[in-house]
Structure 1
Amino acid sequence: MFEALPVGAMTCNLRTFTIDYANPCSVELLHSIRDELPIDPNDIVGTSIDIFHKAPMHQRALLSDAAQLPHKARIRFGREWLDLHIHPLPDSKGRVTRALLIWAVATAEVAKAEEEYRLQRMIDDMPVAVMTVDPGNFEITYLNEASKRTLNQIENLLPVNASDLLGRSIDIFHRNPAHQRALLADPRNLPHRAQIRLGPEVLDLQVSAVNGTDGAYIGPMLTWSVITKQVAAEARIHQLAHYDTLTGLANRSTFRDRLQDKLQVEDARLALLFIDLDGFKFVNDNYGHLVGDALLTSVAERLGRCCKAGDLIARLGGDEFAIVMPDAGEEEASELAARIVEAMRSPFDQSGGASLRIGGSIGIAVVPEHGADLHLIQARADMALYNAKDAGKNTFRLFTPELELRLNDRVRLESKLRHAVEQREGLFLYYQPILNTVTRQITCREALIRFHHPLRGWISPGEFIPVAEESGLIGELGAWVIEQACLDAASWTDGARVAVNVSARQLGNGTLQPTILAALLKSGLPPDRLEIEVTETALLENELDSLADLRQMRAMGVRIALDDFGTGFSSLAHLRAFPFDKIKIDGSFVRDATTRADCAAIVGLVAELGTRLGVTTVAEGVETQAHFDLVRAEGCTEVQGYFFGRPAPMESLATRSEELKTA
């Protein structure tokens, strides 16, 4: 029987503790672990039993005491594990003189048990909650420690304690148990991932299929975590990425994406409105960004009240807004634009009692009449907006093909002007005299730029100066005017001053003062022979920085004149803010002064104001003897106008200029 056993069988003499029998399976097993033996497995009979144990005396004591037998143990033998059963073998007189050892190599079994133990510990120690469910009755069969810890955080949302969940139905986690059961019962639905809500909490759930070694479906394993804070954070990130943080409106990126989506719809029909606030920069600069931000928020609220459900309102940046009206044409868009213009005119009451007034200019393009391409429809709405602002602001304009032609003309003009500035070709300075009303002597000459193109001829300053300002060429063009005017004035023998106009775009950016200094040094012209003329409108755009520039120039000895006085709404405030050397009364008052008593009164009041302030007053637009007699009688210090001379070039350029006039 021992010879045929599939396990090892050996007998040990308990007097000598030597092996006196080993069945064939023992020898075969010993060959499988021969690296751990000090002898050849074939020579095992007659060998001491001590070779199998690290503590031979303990082993001998165990074998000698029949009271401890039978005995079962798992012992370590080198790198191997052996399962050992020891039974007493009594002789014919009942004395136990031998022992029977039934044994087998258990290394693989031990390894498997250890692997299962490590896996169990690993799952228990995972930071992610893990549960298993019986697919037959849908009861929870296992929870790791992370599950228990996580469930304790939301225990008030469960009908039972986390420690009592084993054996409970998985239904307690789902609002729709039937759907959940159908999902878990069929491995074809797995793996599956979903976010489910448990009261105010959000759970991230992943379900995987657990299969046996034969591939059969054992059941689902659920890994999950509470991600309420992460979901809130993701929602916040999404909000920041797609919506304006100040107004809550869609931002530029979201606006473009949604407009593009609407344009992709077959037979798309919509209206696009671009809105630009008029006067917002003045509010921001003079009242501060907090007031400016509150104003933008109020604007967004008014836009929302003007629009209907389904309209997309976006803040593109700064004081620029946009609206997309689905299924709307020119008529509906014009009605909305009119409502918005009217809404923007109403005062904006701020905390602290301040009441602010601004306006809104709007450009409109409609699909498909004005195009269906994203970039094209935006460009045409922008053209219409530019036209609205050019028309005096606080109004709206629809796109027309003529606007595009005008824009193309402007682009071509910009190219020509850029070439002229870079190459110094076709640019001339003309000068108009300014005279003392008593002596009639020339005290100053105003420098006026002229531009001649070989094909278009003479181009009006009213046409090319705005292009220079909008394209950024005004800085370089203005620098050339200042330098050339200083060089020309340095050659005048009568010692007259030269007056140069500066644009709003040249003020407030810190570049004007070094430009003037360089021109004075190059020409050698004394600073007090240079007058810089600024308009009230120019000061309004960036008043604080512009006044800082003027103070720097005044400190150099350059004279500062306030041009077009009377046309701005804060004239007296500007006189208080800066000590101008000269006030130039706008020509519109002078030209009408001989026929309108109110205009004559304004001329007289400004002249008297100049006398009291010790400031030179210049009457512009003097075209007749009657004009001159009136402004002199009213007390104006100096005069300028066609009556005393039209703008003309320097003598050295006069011949060439006349040739160009007749070309």
Structure 2
Amino acid sequence: MTKCPFSGVTLSPGAARPGPVSFAQICDVMPIGAMTCDLTTFTIDYANPYSIELLHSIRETIGIDPDQIIGTSIDVFHKNPSYQRELLSEPGNLPHKARIRFGDEWLDLRIHPLPEPDGQVRRALLVWSIATAEVLKEQEEYRLLRMIDDMPVAVMTVDPATYCITYANETSKRTLGQIDEHLPLKAADLLGASIDVFHKNPAHQRRLLADPANLPHNARIKVGPEVLDLQASAVRGTDGAYLGPMLTWSLVTQQVAAEARIQQLAHYDTLTGLANRTTFREHLGAALARGRAGLGLLFIDLDGFKIVNDSHGHLVGDALLRHVADRLRVACARPGMMVSRLGGDEFAVLTPEIAPADLAAFAQGLIDTLVAPYQVETERCLEVGASIGIAVAPEHGDAPEALLSRADMALYSAKAAGKRTFRLFCTEMEVRLHERVRLEAKLRAALADMDGLFLYYQPITDVRTRAVTAREALIRWHHPGRGWISPAEFIPIAEESGLIRDLGAWVLRRACEDAASWEDGARVAVNVSPRQLGTGTLASAVLDALFASGLSPDRLEIEVTESALLGDEKAGLADLRRIRDMGVRVALDDFGTGFSSLAHLRAFPFDKIKIDGSFVRDAVQRPDCAAIVGVVADLGRRLGVTTVAEGVETQAHLDLVIAEGCSEVQGYLLGRPAPRAADLPRIADLTAPFPTRKTA
């Protein structure tokens, strides 16, 4: 048996033999470009018809005439002809494969040696095809693959039959490397691994991914302390057939923590960790919507917290609030109870159905818990009080705002009752609140019209000469409907409503105007509210009053209480220094009833100390009060400061304060408050009697 050298067909003995077939005849019918090249001249000496056809299709790109291809140098098929010739000169380099680009076209070229009978290679066969579409497809797939590899989201594909990972981008491997200590899988072993390692319920996951109707699907899964966001999508072929799932996932542990933090900030107080006002309001609304009777709302306000906060600093104040919150948590650790910090030093407690008597006992227990001393810092013990207002649903309101408002009214009543106590809302509180609102409106109108406001003056007398050295200006208000109203009632309203600034400015102007007309040249003493001090406006108000009246600055005394300095003490003392620099005298009023008295005397050079009348009135019967009067008088003498004994109502009082060394006295014995002469006719027309005791 023999084999045909061109066709490769085996011929059996006796079979009819085909005629001889040339190499060119074979190549002429090949459905691929075929050309031969003379390696001595590097020119093309044969090209099959398909080559001519292909060359015509890329004629513009390749830049040669396909019909003139025979005899053309093969240099046209390579950008580096010298390299190509060097390659073909050495038969040992063949066969050789190359991909060549002509403009937008790509050719796949394979070069094979054509040995002659003597074994020499003088010619080469070039087999080629246009690979542009294939190359573009490969490039597109490559670009897509690179894009997927570079995506910040982990991407994996899964075999739908075995549920094993068939592809994983670089982000998958990199991210898995951060959490593989929590998985029975290492990043290096990702390909071929089962996706069961990513889910606590593999059977459920497999059922989900098996049916493309379930996709896309999102899930958040926890791997140890880490959290993954996972999305499964269906990958389909060009015919729409389901090829399998693609998983995209990312490590969102920090994001989840941030979301939790945002939720915490939105619903809980950052300082104490208690529910904030918004959350409490929502919880209260939900509880009221359920319509259960006996729901209790307790408003808690700390007594004296501002003093602690201002005197010890905000860091200590914040620490104290955290301690208060901790005590409330323990005291309210009962089913159905909720504790909230509404803001500042205000807290609230919501209780489930509870009998009124039990609610009262619970409120008193909270007060007892909160007033116990606090160990806030090393060797520092602080005390605050607590006042509580209580409202009960539905009898005091079946809507959140109504119940909150009435609990607030009850709290205001508890504060007015002396603090460190609780009050249950009653309708009289609402009546009093409305009356207070009406009183504020009337006071505002009186200030606008200057109708019904008067200044009375009480003399301050030198104990030796009995001469009047000064007169204290005391404001009085006659209400058209209620008659004379005590300053103890309307001054707090003016302070809380902000009217005190205008009221204080009016008092300063009127007092300076009146004092300018006094023939005895006595000074005028004007009280300043704590709300006026530390705002930066007092000095300008004093200057305006002095300028308008023409009163000499040394004839004006500004009286401040120690409590006025317990706010922003630095700003308050700055205000006092400004007016003292003008030549105005400054007196410390009600000395002995406030806080840190000696510290205030050291911080500011007061011109006068006024001993509170409560010590003077009790001094005759109580040696301790007499001793306090004597100590303060001696302190004033050593500091070179005038001491005034207030509340001198009897001769015994006068004798005692003189004996103890006081410089001046003030009280009913030597002079009651009286209006200026110009106001006497108007006051005479008023029918209501004027209070006979000093109330401001």
Q: TM-score, normalised by structure 1?
A: 0.84
Asked if the contact 1:585–1:603 (Cα under 8 Å) also holds between the matched residues in 2, the reply is: no
Q: Distance in 2 between matches of 1:61 and 1:582?
A: 114
Residues 1:76 and 1:657: Cα distance change in structure 2 (over 3 Å): same
> Which of residues 605, 613, 629 in structure 2 aligns to 1:606?
629
Taking the TM superposition and a 5 Å limit, the aligned residue runs for 1:405-444 are 405-437=431-463, 439-444=465-470
Shift of 1:235: 3.7
Shift of 1:33: 3.2
Deviations 1:342-370 (A, max 9, x none): 01221113443222221111222333333
Q: Distance in 2 between matches of 1:302 and 1:67?
A: 93
Q: Distance in 2 between matches of 1:224 and 1:115?
A: 24
Shift of 1:469: 0.8
Letter in 1 for 2:510: Q
Deviations 1:266-291 (A, max 9, x none): 65874332222112222223333333
Q: Distance in 1 between matches of 2:144 and 2:89?
A: 41
Q: Distance in 1 between matches of 2:130 and 2:59?
A: 12
Identical-residue share of aligned pairs (%)? 61
Asked if the contact 1:7–1:104 (Cα under 8 Å) also holds between the matched residues in 2, the reply is: no
Q: Distance in 2 between matches of 1:629 and 1:569?
A: 29
Q: Distance in 1 between matches of 2:297 and 2:28?
A: 95
Shift of 1:48: 5.0
Alignment partner of 1:192 is 2:217 = yes
Taking the TM superposition and a 5 Å limit, the aligned residue runs for 1:105-504 are 105-263=130-288, 265=290, 270-309=295-334, 310-327=336-353, 330-331=356-357, 333-437=359-463, 439-454=465-480, 457-504=483-530
Taking the TM superposition and a 5 Å limit, the aligned residue runs for 1:92-103 are none
What's the secondary structure of 2:413's corresponding residue?
A: helix
Alignment partner of 1:521 is 2:547 = yes
Letter in 2 for 1:292: G
Asked if the contact 1:205–1:224 (Cα under 8 Å) also holds between the matched residues in 2, the reply is: yes
Residues 1:112 and 1:510: Cα distance change in structure 2 (over 3 Å): same
Residues 1:591 and 1:64: Cα distance change in structure 2 (over 3 Å): closer
Shift of 1:162: 2.2
Asked if the contact 1:427–1:452 (Cα under 8 Å) also holds between the matched residues in 2, the reply is: yes
Taking the TM superposition and a 5 Å limit, the aligned residue runs for 1:523-538 are 523-538=549-564
Shift of 1:222: 2.0
Asked if the contact 2:37–2:125 (Cα under 8 Å) also holds between the matched residues in 1, the reply is: no
Shift of 1:403: 2.1
Structure-1 residue corresponding to 2:692: none
Residues 1:326 and 1:19: Cα distance change in structure 2 (over 3 Å): farther
Deviations 1:160-210 (A, max 9, x none): 432223222111222221122222222223223333222233333232222
Q: Distance in 2 between matches of 1:38 and 1:543?
A: 94
Letter in 2 for 1:597: Q
Residues 1:67 and 1:160: Cα distance change in structure 2 (over 3 Å): closer
> Which of residues 594, 597, 601 in structure 1 aligns to 2:621?
597
Shift of 1:311: 2.8
Letter in 1 for 2:212: P
Range moving further from structure 2, 202-211 or 582-591 = 582-591
Q: Distance in 2 between matches of 1:479 and 1:13?
A: 113
What's the secondary structure of 2:531's corresponding residue?
A: helix
Shift of 1:625: 6.2
Shift of 1:72: 7.0
> Which of residues 609, 623, 644 in structure 2 aligns to 1:617?
644
Q: Distance in 1 between matches of 2:109 and 2:624?
A: 127
Asked if the contact 1:10–1:26 (Cα under 8 Å) also holds between the matched residues in 2, the reply is: yes
Q: Distance in 1 between matches of 2:172 and 2:667?
A: 91
Range moving further from structure 2, 499-508 or 77-86 = 77-86
Residues 1:570 and 1:66: Cα distance change in structure 2 (over 3 Å): closer
Q: Distance in 2 between matches of 1:565 and 1:70?
A: 113
Structure-1 residue corresponding to 2:694: none
Taking the TM superposition and a 5 Å limit, the aligned residue runs for 1:576-655 are 580-588=606-614, 597-598=621-622, 602-603=625-626, 606=629, 609-610=632-633, 613-614=636-637, 615-620=642-647, 622=649, 637-655=663-681
Shift of 1:483: 2.0
Range moving further from structure 2, 224-233 or 262-271 = 262-271
Q: Distance in 1 between matches of 2:126 and 2:601?
A: 118
Residues 1:237 and 1:26: Cα distance change in structure 2 (over 3 Å): same
What's the secondary structure of 2:172's corresponding residue?
A: helix
Deviations 1:210-261 (A, max 9, x none): 2111122211222233333444444445444543343222334444444455
Shift of 1:52: 6.6
Asked if the contact 1:271–1:329 (Cα under 8 Å) also holds between the matched residues in 2, the reply is: no
Asked if the contact 2:563–2:595 (Cα under 8 Å) also holds between the matched residues in 1, the reply is: no
Asked if the contact 2:167–2:191 (Cα under 8 Å) also holds between the matched residues in 1, the reply is: yes
What's the secondary structure of 1:506's corresponding residue?
A: coil
**Structure 1 stretches of 5 or more lacking a match?**
none
Asked if the contact 1:430–1:649 (Cα under 8 Å) also holds between the matched residues in 2, the reply is: yes
**Structure 2 stretches of 5 or more lacking a match?**
1-24, 690-696
RMSD: 4.2
What's the secondary structure of 2:318's corresponding residue?
A: helix
Letter in 2 for 1:156: E
Structure-2 residue corresponding to 1:53: 77
Asked if the contact 2:611–2:643 (Cα under 8 Å) also holds between the matched residues in 1, the reply is: no
Q: Distance in 1 between matches of 2:657 and 2:113?
A: 142
Deviations 1:284-338 (A, max 9, x none): 2333333323322221111111112443323333322222334557555433321
Asked if the contact 1:262–1:268 (Cα under 8 Å) also holds between the matched residues in 2, the reply is: no
Range moving further from structure 2, 570-579 or 126-135 = 570-579
Asked if the contact 2:218–2:231 (Cα under 8 Å) also holds between the matched residues in 1, the reply is: yes
Deviations 1:406-450 (A, max 9, x none): 222222222332333345443321222333455544332221112
Letter in 2 for 1:53: F
Q: Distance in 2 between matches of 1:64 and 1:590?
A: 128
What's the secondary structure of 2:191's corresponding residue?
A: coil
Asked if the contact 2:648–2:654 (Cα under 8 Å) also holds between the matched residues in 1, the reply is: no
Shift of 1:2: 9.0
Structure-1 residue corresponding to 2:693: none
Deviations 1:499-525 (A, max 9, x none): 211212222333323432332333232
Letter in 1 for 2:132: T
Shift of 1:147: 2.3
Shift of 1:12: 6.7
What's the secondary structure of 2:329's corresponding residue?
A: helix
Q: Distance in 2 between matches of 1:78 and 1:537?
A: 91
Range moving further from structure 2, 78-87 or 109-118 = 78-87
Shift of 1:466: 0.5
What's the secondary structure of 1:275's corresponding residue?
A: strand
Q: Distance in 2 between matches of 1:230 and 1:386?
A: 44
Q: Distance in 1 between matches of 2:151 and 2:169?
A: 8
Deviations 1:16-62 (A, max 9, x none): 97788865x76765554343365777x57978585973478999999
